[in-house]
Amino acid sequence: MKARIALLLALCLPFTAPVAEDGKADPANQVAYVTLAPALVGNFGAGPRLKYFKADIALRVTGLETKSKVEHHEPLIRNQLVMLFTQQTDETLATPEAKEQLRQEALRQVQQVLLQEEGRPLVDDLLFNNLIVQ
């Protein structure tokens, strides 16, 4: 019985929010999301027929100060992502696996931009809230 309680408590520990000395949640360790709004919209691919994409993207960061820095660099991040999306082809957007590779490449490029600008990658993850190609 004691082992079960100890196991239950151990499993619950990672899910508790970081707390500052005054008993409030520590804003430096809070997860926040920066939504790139409006959605990224453009065309991609080559050929006689225009193809369009629309991507609703959120960036996961840790800490309110980090969120502020990422929001400050949003125009540069948006530019980098639009350039990445316009280079895509039907094959790189056709399957769920290909979209996951695109998501990972987008994350790498965003982190690279922020590394150059801030000295740290700042963004923990990049999420496609919605990705439409037509």
Question: What does the pLDDT look like over 53-64, one tens digit per residue?
Answer: 999 999 999 999
CATH architecture under which domain 29-133 falls: 2-Layer Sandwich (3.30)
- What are the φ and ψ backbone dihedral angles of 73, each rounded to 5 degrees? -95, 10
pLDDT over 90 at 6, yes or no: no
**Residue 25 β-bridge partners:** 19
Average pLDDT over residues 113-124: 96
* pLDDT of amino acid 12: 45
Of the pLDDT bands very low, low, confident and very high (cuts 50, 70, 90), residue 32 is: very high
Angle at 37 between CA 105 and CA 17, to 5 degrees: 75
In angstroms, the Cα distances linking 131 to 9, 14, 32, 100, 121 are: 39, 32, 21, 11, 24
Average pLDDT over residues 102-109: 97
Quick check: 124 and 111 in contact, CB under 8 A? no
Number of alpha helices (DSSP H) and beta strands (DSSP E) in the chain: 4, 3
* pLDDT of amino acid 24: 62
**Residue 117 one-letter amino acid:** E
Of the pLDDT bands very low, low, confident and very high (cuts 50, 70, 90), residue 1 is: low
Of the pLDDT bands very low, low, confident and very high (cuts 50, 70, 90), residue 90 is: confident
> How many whole angstroms from its chain centre is CA 18?
22
Average model confidence (pLDDT) across the chain: 85
Quick check: 70 and 77 in contact, CB under 8 A? yes
Sheet bearing 123-133, strands edge to edge? 31-44, 51-62, 123-133
Quick check: 57 and 123 in contact, CB under 8 A? no
Of the pLDDT bands very low, low, confident and very high (cuts 50, 70, 90), residue 10 is: very low
pLDDT over 70 at 39, yes or no: yes
Average pLDDT over residues 100-104: 96
* pLDDT of amino acid 49: 86
